[in-house]
């Protein structure tokens, strides 16, 4: 059973939230009731519930469901979810996705790469990242050996050691997101304590070093790869963030670390993961228990309801003549779809091309019109049952027709194979024949045979970037990939509506980073705005 889906409950904790932004650590209880840490941690079972709250920080936005008490002030709860904000920035600002929701203030600026420091979605992901970090810092303060002994829970030291490592993993991943999106951010850990103060701004090199050292330090205390409870982090999840960190090191710190990336890719590959037989099964309810999944974000129609995550991904990508019930939901939000820049990368026989074209046009003359652009059917609130020949014999919808049960594959083996191949294509290490073999495993799954297999000679950087789009589209990877290949800002690669021009135009290099939200710049004298904003 799914760890988060079972254990998450409303836990009243001595965890504190930012009042409006990360201006200073003015603190208020997470709930109106006056609970203290002594109350929360009196019961030994509370520790795992608080850990579940930390995992749930990617998914949930408040108490009593998506229309309950929001956990962040000054932000629309529906738009405040960590995952939704992260996906917006990673996909809507690229060639892979575009939104037609003109009434969502600031969203078109994400579409067009025209945002500024007042953009609500820029502030949304910034605030959510640091809210998560604050939760984790407080958990780490309250779970030291001394605190456990003081409360009579000394017998929990070993299990709590693992919980702390998992919490630190999530903090490291959140700081990696901050590095990737903003680079120069305020920096706080559990050693800073609580109270009112202005966090000091770090820089990309120091933040890179922190994420790297933190992940390496916690590895001995994480459960071995593929041995933890479902959706909980293990060594392979930490290896994956390290691999991502090193893959993008030339962007982050102007120094390549491809050999280090290769080391951790190999560790993951050797850990016993395997490619899922059917591509579609990675993005529907069937992905529970997938041998390809390295780290998933858990979603559940009953226990982890929000207007972000898979609810947004599935309902938001249905419109026009599409029938929502065919995807296991009732909603037709008619917002998200693909541009022709993505659609044209697919061969007609490529099974990864999960698109709906009936009544849709390739050209987008009016961004608001859902039927302009290609609908994407990659994510579904369905479970497929197959016979021995691989034919679908039953399709079972999720438990809730609004909030899906399918989990989101944040990290999976297919990505690792392509990272290995990219290192080979860059001439930075690895074996070309091995890399071609990894890519061909993915292509044989996609095409159903070996007719479209490649050779080692085909492993160019251009091919890898396009193959990453084909394999990983709408998986919150694209912005980071385009920046790494020098294709995100500027005029070297254009796509529909880049720069708010129908056929695309060059954009300023400043957009490779997001701005620190204006509210935080105004409130914290220690912060300096990113260049160009």
Cβ proximity of 356 and 305 under 8 Å = no
Task: State the DSSP code for 62.
Answer: E
Fold of the domain spanning 233-298+410-437+453-468? 1.25.40
Q: What is the pLDDT of residue 195?
A: 73
Q: What is the pLDDT of residue 7?
A: 40
Q: Kindly report, residue by residue over 118-127, the tens digit of the pLDDT.
A: 999 999 999 9
Q: What is the pLDDT of residue 70?
A: 65
CATH number of 3-221: 1.25.40.390
C-alpha closest to that of 122 among 189, 185, 170, 201? 185
Q: What is the pLDDT of residue 65?
A: 55
Taking the alpha carbons of 410, 202, 80, 18 in that order, is the dihedral positive or negative? positive
pTM above 0.75, yes or no: yes
Q: What angle do CA 374, 481, 21 make, to 5 degrees?
A: 95
Residues spanned by CATH 1.25.40.10 within the chain? 233-298+410-437+453-468
Alpha helix locations (H) across 61-156? 82-87, 107-112, 120-141, 145-150
Query: Residue 402: CA atoms inside 13 Å, Cβ hemisphere, count?
Result: 9
Q: What is the pLDDT of residue 193?
A: 73
Taking the alpha carbons of 504, 505, 506, 511 in that order, is the dihedral positive or negative? negative
Q: What is the pLDDT of residue 32?
A: 45
Q: What is the pLDDT of residue 194?
A: 74
- Residues of the chain below pLDDT 70: 1-38, 62-79
Alpha helix locations (H) across 142-234? 145-150, 157-181, 204-218
Residues spanned by CATH 1.25.40.390 within the chain? 3-221
Cα(441)–Cα(449) distance, integer angstroms:
10
- Radius of gyration for the alpha carbons in the chain, expressed in angstroms and rounded: 22
Q: How far from the centroid of its chain's Cα atoms is residue 392's Cα?
A: 30
Q: What is the pLDDT of residue 43?
A: 85
Q: How far from the centroid of its chain's Cα atoms is residue 433's Cα?
A: 31
């Amino acid at each position: 059973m799914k760890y988060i889906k079972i254990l998450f409950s409303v836990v009243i904790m001595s965890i504190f939230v930012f009042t409006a932004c990360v201006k200073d650590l003015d603190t208020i209880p997470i709930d109106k009731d006056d609970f203290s840490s002594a109350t929360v941690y009196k019961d030994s079972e509370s520790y795992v519930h608080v850990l579940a709250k930390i995992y749930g920080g990617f998914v949930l936005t408040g108490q009593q469901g998506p229309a309950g008490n929001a956990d962040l002030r000054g932000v629309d709860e529906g738009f405040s979810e960590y995952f939704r904000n992260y996906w917006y920035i990673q996909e809507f600002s690229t060639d892979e996705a575009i939104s037609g929701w003109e009434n969502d203030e600031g969203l078109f600026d994400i579409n067009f790469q025209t945002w500024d420091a007042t953009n609500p979605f820029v502030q949304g992901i910034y605030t959510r990242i640091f809210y998560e970090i604050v939760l984790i810092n407080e958990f780490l303060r309250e779970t030291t050996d001394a605190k456990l002994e003081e409360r009579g829970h000394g017998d929990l030291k070993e299990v709590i050691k693992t919980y702390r490592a998992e919490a630190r993993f999530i903090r490291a991943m959140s700081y990696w997101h901050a590095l990737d999106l903003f680079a120069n951010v305020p920096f706080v850990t559990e050693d800073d304590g609580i109270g009112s103060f202005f966090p000091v701004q770090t820089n990309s090199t120091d933040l890179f070093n922190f994420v790297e050292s933190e992940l390496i330090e916690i590895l001995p205390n994480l459960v071995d790869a593929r041995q933890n409870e479902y959706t909980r982090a293990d060594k392979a999840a930490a290896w994956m963030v390290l691999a991502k960190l090193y893959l993008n090191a030339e962007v982050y710190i102007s120094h390549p670390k491809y050999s280090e990336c290769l080391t951790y890719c190999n560790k993951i590959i050797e850990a016993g993961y395997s490619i899922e037989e059917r591509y579609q099964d990675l993005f529907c309810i069937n992905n529970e228990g997938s041998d390809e999944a390295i780290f998933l974000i858990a979603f559940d129609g009953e226990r982890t309801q929000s207007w972000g995550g898979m609810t947004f991904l599935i309902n938001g990508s249905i419109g026009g003549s599409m029938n929502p019930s065919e995807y296991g939901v009732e909603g037709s939000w008619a917002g998200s779809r693909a541009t022709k820049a993505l659609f044209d990368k697919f061969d007609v026989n490529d099974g990864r091309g999960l698109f709906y074209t009936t009544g849709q046009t390739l050209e987008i003359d009016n961004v608001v019109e859902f039927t302009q652009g290609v609908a994407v059917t990659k994510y579904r609130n369905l479970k497929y049952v197959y016979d021995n020949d691989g034919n679908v014999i039953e399709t079972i919808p999720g438990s809730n027709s609004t909030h899906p049960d399918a989990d989101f594959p944040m990290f999976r083996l297919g990505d690792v194979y392509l990272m290995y191949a990219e290192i080979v294509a860059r001439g930075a290490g690895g074996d070309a024949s091995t890399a071609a073999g990894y890519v061909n495993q993915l292509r044989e799954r996609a095409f159903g045979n070996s007719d479209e297999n490649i050779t080692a000679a085909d492993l160019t950087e251009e091919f890898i970037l396009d193959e990453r789009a084909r394999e990983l589209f709408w998986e919150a990877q694209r912005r980071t990939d385009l920046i790494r290949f020098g294709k995100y800002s500027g005029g070297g690669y254009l796509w529909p509506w880049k720069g708010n021009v129908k056929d695309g135009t060059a954009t300023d290099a400043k957009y490779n980073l997001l701005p620190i939200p204006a509210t935080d710049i105004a409130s914290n004298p220690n912060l300096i705005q990113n260049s160009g904003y």
